[in-house]
């Protein structure tokens, strides 16, 4: 059974990727799962300077989903290289570094600095964090800016560049097309949907930030539709994200067009979900007579 | 920190929709320290989606107890569990209370469901230490003294014990604390913790508080549970750096 998939020059032993912001820098979750059995681990967003993140409340549970407004809390590039990268070196998996920035120059600078770290195999550029004003969303909703970021970040590194797309746009495929035209290696879709929640007794927002990013099973149908929309129009690999809890969800994402997929919110509930999903996919392929899991990608019949 | 299956041994109602759940879970029971918590998956489906954090109320051999009330869907589901059902539990999580030689007398201050971690802490305290438990609630039905030693009670409406809040109760009983080297351990609603902090600062008592915050994971990966640090710039995480903090380290 060949579970391997390819994202640019990065080969993954299986299509399971742990989504940024749901595994920290790998250390805490490594006590509860075997990262060596995962295709890739995507670090928490790293920005040039450290960020404290938003005050509480940062998390609200919703029906089959959750809202978060963490605010890109992170240690910054320098500390990341000094204290986080050495730990990540021990694992036999691909480390993808997610980068957040408040200017195009900052994206380029972060990528350039981190490119020197051998353990980092690819970059995921977060142009779509809805929770901070400088989180990139302003770029994620601007076709020209997405093109410029893709082109300039690609020029700053030899490693694959994945652009993480916002679902909060009317025509997501046009953004994927721009990424493809400017040399991006892949897109990941989707980032969280903007949502909110209010306390009906105090009439105040539950999140300090008022709005947050909705994730979890609640967004899966939306994410599947976005992946399908991109797949029908653009050739580069798509990394599917959005409410994947089980191997069945993962298979569905691959069928509609994902080459690989990221699991996020499920890590909070079942930190070993990635390993279980990979095992479930093996069984599924065996039953279905699929020899290479990559054959599943875009195999939908309409 | 592990994920383990725990069989429900007992589920009893202590009163006013407050439940005590006892489960068989030797793997977590043998590691647990007073003040730590577990994250419990209350259903097999995606609703409710997240695990629920509960203080470890007590450890008895291979069993663990949790105390909870029923404000929402998750705890409602939990309150319907039957003996013999198996729960998926992640724990023990966080840092607990410090038991040390620095004090002769442990003063527990609990408001409402804040009583939850104290039976275990009471049991873990060395015998030579004096324990006073100050327990408050809105009304007599909200006062939970389960597993607590030398409980002195207050209610806001005066329906049981001293009429007033639990910090006013502390002030009223301050004479019994004088002369001893004491440390205060507090758990309860945030306004109560703030008042306890003021009380301890006023009299120079050391104090540890057990804090709460909405969280998703319980072990540091979601970054969802910040608490403002007092001794450095930025935040601590309630799940990983707490939930028990020295009051001099955090803004309550």
A61 contacts in chain B (CB < 8 Å)? 48-50, 214, 216
In the predicted structure, residue B71 carries a pLDDT above the cut 80:
no
pTM of the predicted model as reported, rounded to 2 decimal places: 0.96
Tens place of pLDDT per residue across chain A (302 aa) = 899 999 999 999 999 999 999 999 999 999 999 999 999 999 999 999 999 999 999 999 999 999 999 998 999 999 999 999 999 999 999 999 999 998 899 999 999 999 999 999 999 999 876 555 555 566 788 899 999 999 999 999 999 999 999 998 999 999 999 999 999 999 999 999 999 999 999 999 999 999 999 999 999 999 999 999 999 999 999 999 999 999 999 999 999 999 999 999 999 999 999 999 999 999 999 999 999 999 999 999 99
Give the C-alpha separation, B32 to B43, whole Å.
Answer: 23
Q: What are phi and psi of B96, to 5 degrees?
A: -95, -165
B38 contacts in chain A (CB < 8 Å)? none
User: Dihedral of CA A283/A284/A285/A286: which sign?
Assistant: positive
Give the C-alpha separation, B250 to B190, whole Å.
Answer: 12
Does B48 lie at the interface with A, CB-CB under 8 angstroms? yes
Q: At A112, is the secondary structure helix, strand, or coil?
A: helix
Does A43 lie at the interface with B, CB-CB under 8 angstroms? no
User: Whose CA is closest to A42, among A274, A224, A205?
Assistant: A274
Q: What are phi and psi of B111, to 5 degrees?
A: -120, 120
Which regions of A169-300 does DSSP assign to beta strands (E)? 186-189, 193-196, 211-215, 238-241, 258-263
Tokens at residue A114, please?
């981190």
Confidence of residue B179 (pLDDT cuts 50, 70, 90): confident
User: Whose CA is closest to A45, among A139, A149, A169, A132?
Assistant: A132
Check CB contact under 8 Å for B226 and A29. no
Does B221 lie at the interface with A, CB-CB under 8 angstroms? yes
In the predicted structure, residue B70 carries a pLDDT above the cut 90:
no
CA distance A234 to chain B (A): 32
Closest residue, chain A, to B216 (C-alpha): A268
User: Whose CA is closest to A237, among A162, A169, A292, A296?
Assistant: A162
Summarised one tens digit per residue, pLDDT across range B2-52 is 999 999 999 999 888 899 999 999 999 999 999 999 999 999 888 899 999
In the predicted structure, residue B195 carries a pLDDT above the cut 90:
yes
> Exposure pattern of A45-68 as b/e (b: 16+ CB <10 Å)?
bbbbebbebbebbbbbbbebbbbb
CA distance A91 to chain B (A): 18
Check CB contact under 8 Å for A59 and B222. yes
User: Whose CA is closest to A69, among A82, A52, A79, A55?
Assistant: A55
The CB-side HSE value for A292 (13 A sphere, CA atoms) comes to 9
CA distance A165 to chain B (A): 21
Q: Which residues contact B76 (CB under 8 A, 6 or more apart)?
A: B70
Check CB contact under 8 Å for A265 and B2. no
B215 contacts in chain A (CB < 8 Å)? 59
CB neighbours of residue B109 within 10 Å? 28
Which of B45, B47, B49 to probe the A interface (max A CBs under 10 A)?
B49
**Residue B127: Cβ-neighbour burial (10 angstroms; 0-12, 13-18, 19+):** exposed
Q: Which residues contact B195 (CB under 8 A, 6 or more apart)?
A: B165, B167
The mean per-residue pLDDT over the stretch B48-77 comes to 93
| CB-closest option in A21, A59, A63 to B214 | A59
Q: Which helix (H) or strand (E) holds A253?
A: helix A247-256
Confidence of residue B73 (pLDDT cuts 50, 70, 90): confident
Which regions of chain A does DSSP assign to beta strands (E)? 5-7, 10-12, 16-18, 40-42, 59-62, 65-68, 94-99, 120-126, 161-164, 186-189, 193-196, 211-215, 238-241, 258-263
CA distance B75 to chain A (A): 14
Closest residue, chain B, to A23 (C-alpha): B221
Token pair 């928490």 in the structure block, residue: A44
User: Whose CA is closest to A33, among A48, A44, A22, A49?
Assistant: A22
DSSP 8-state secondary structure symbol assigned to residue A190: -
A131 contacts in chain B (CB < 8 Å)? none
Summarised one tens digit per residue, pLDDT across range A16-40 is 999 999 999 999 999 999 999 999 9
Q: Name the pairing type of β-strands B244-246 and A238-241.
A: unpaired
Residue A129 annotated among the catalytic residues of the structure: yes
| pLDDT value of residue A129 | 62
Closest residue, chain B, to A24 (C-alpha): B221
Give the C-alpha separation, B227 to A193, whole Å.
Answer: 26
User: Whose CA is closest to A235, among A182, A180, A167, A301?
Assistant: A180
Which of A18, A52, A59 to probe the B interface (max B CBs under 10 A)?
A59
Check CB contact under 8 Å for A64 and B219. no
A54 contacts in chain B (CB < 8 Å)? 226
Check CB contact under 8 Å for A58 and B235. no
Check CB contact under 8 Å for B219 and A55. no
Does B251 lie at the interface with A, CB-CB under 8 angstroms? no
CA distance B138 to chain A (A): 19
Tokens at residue A244, please?
């994947």
Q: A193 to each of A145, A163, B127, how far by Cα in Å?
A: 20, 16, 55
Give the C-alpha separation, B146 to B199, whole Å.
Answer: 25
Summarised one tens digit per residue, pLDDT across range B220-229 is 999 999 999 9
Q: Which of A97, A110, A129, A285 is catalytic?
A: A129
User: Whose CA is closest to B174, among B137, B203, B138, B210?
Assistant: B203
Does A53 lie at the interface with B, CB-CB under 8 angstroms? yes
């Amino acid at each position: 059974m060949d579970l391997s998939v390819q994202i640019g020059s990065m080969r993954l032993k299986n299509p399971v990727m742990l989504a940024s912001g749901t595994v920290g820098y790998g250390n805490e979750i490594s006590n509860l799962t075997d990262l060596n059995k995962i295709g890739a681990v995507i670090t928490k967003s790293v920005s040039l300077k450290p960020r404290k993140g938003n005050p509480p409340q940062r998390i609200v549970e919703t029906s089959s989903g959750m809202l978060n407004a963490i605010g890109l809390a992170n240690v910054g590039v320098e500390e990341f290289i000094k204290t986080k990268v050495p730990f990540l070196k021990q694992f036999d998996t691909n480390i993808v570094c997610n980068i957040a920035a408040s200017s195009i120059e900052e994206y380029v600078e972060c990528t350039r600095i981190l490119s020197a770290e051998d353990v980092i195999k690819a970059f995921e550029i977060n142009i779509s964090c809805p929770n901070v004003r400088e989180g990139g969303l302003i770029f994620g909703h601007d076709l020209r800016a997405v093109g410029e970021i893709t082109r300039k970040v690609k020029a700053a590194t030899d490693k694959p560049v994945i652009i993480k797309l916002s679902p909060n746009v009317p025509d997501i495929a046009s953004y994927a097309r721009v990424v493809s035209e400017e040399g991006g290696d892949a897109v990941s879709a989707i980032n969280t949907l903007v949502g909110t929640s209010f306390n009906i007794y105090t009439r105040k927002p539950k999140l300090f930030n008022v709005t947050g990013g909705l994730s979890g099973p609640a967004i899966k149908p939306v994410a599947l539709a976005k992946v399908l929309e991109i797949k029908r129009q653009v050739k580069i690999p798509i990394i599917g994200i959005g409410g994947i809890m089980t191997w069945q969800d993962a298979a569905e994402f691959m069928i509609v067009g994902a080459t690989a997929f990221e699991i996020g919110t499920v890590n909070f509930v079942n930190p070993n979900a990635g390993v279980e999903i990979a095992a479930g996919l093996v069984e599924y392929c065996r039953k279905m007579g699929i020899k290479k899991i990559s054959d599943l990608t875009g195999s939908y019949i309409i | 920190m592990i994920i383990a299956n725990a069989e429900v041994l007992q589920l009893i109602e202590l009163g006013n929709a407050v439940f005590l759940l006892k489960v068989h879970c030797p793997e977590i029971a043998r590691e647990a320290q007073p003040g730590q918590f577990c994250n419990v998956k209350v259903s097999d489906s995606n609703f409710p989606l997240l695990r629920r954090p509960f203080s470890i109320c007590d450890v008895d051999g291979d069993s663990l107890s949790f105390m909870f009330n029923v404000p929402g869907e998750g705890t409602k589901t939990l309150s319907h569990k039957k003996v013999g059902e198996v729960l998926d539990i992640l724990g023990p999580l966080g840092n607990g209370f410090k038991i040390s030689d620095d004090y002769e007398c442990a003063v527990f201050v609990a408001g409402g469901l804040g009583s939850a971690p104290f039976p275990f802490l009471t049991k873990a305290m060395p015998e030579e230490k004096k324990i006073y438990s100050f327990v408050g609630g809105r009304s007599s039905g909200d006062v939970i003294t389960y597993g607590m030693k030398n409980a002195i009670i207050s209610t806001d409406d005066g329906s049981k014990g001293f009429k007033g809040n639990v910090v006013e109760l502390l002030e009223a009983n301050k004479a019994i604390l004088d002369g001893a080297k004491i440390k205060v351990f507090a758990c309860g609603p945030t306004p109560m913790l703030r008042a306890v902090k003021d009380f301890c600062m006023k009299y120079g008592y050391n104090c540890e508080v057990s804090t709460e915050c909405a969280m998703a994971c319980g072990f540091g990966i979601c970054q969802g549970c910040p608490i403002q640090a007092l001794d450095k710039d930025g935040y601590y995480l309630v799940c990983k750096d707490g939930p028990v903090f020295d009051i001099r380290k955090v803004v309550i």
